Amino acid sequence: MDVIKVSGTSRTSAVAGAIAGVFRENKRAEIQAIGAGAVNQAVKALVLSRGYLAEDGYDVIFFADFTDVEIDEKVRTAIKITVEERTAQ
């Protein structure tokens, strides 16, 4: 499964569509964002994608973690957000 990488200039609706598409295919999606603008766009896209997926009968949850990624031989800290289907408890 590919990680959806979000930047501060990413279109919210495009990212939301990508999240919903990856989730429908894999029943899980991972989003990566580095920087405040990217995290902002990612969160807005997650909220929008939740609505898209609810229309298909999916009730999803999100959880976030820090992760280190290497970009141009430098280690950067990113936010990794995982989307999964809510399970009944």
pTM, full prediction: 0.91
Mean pLDDT in runs of 10 for the chain (89 residues)?
92 97 96 96 97 94 95 95 87
3-state secondary structure of 31: strand
Give the pLDDT confidence score for residue 89 in this predicted structure. Answer: 63
Rounded Cα gap, residues 81 and 72, in angstroms: 22
Residue with tokens 């429908």: 24
Rounded Cα gap, residues 15 and 47, in angstroms: 11
Q: Which domains does the chain have, with CATH numbers?
A: 3-85 (3.30.110.20)
Q: In percent, how much of the chain has pLDDT > 70?
A: 98
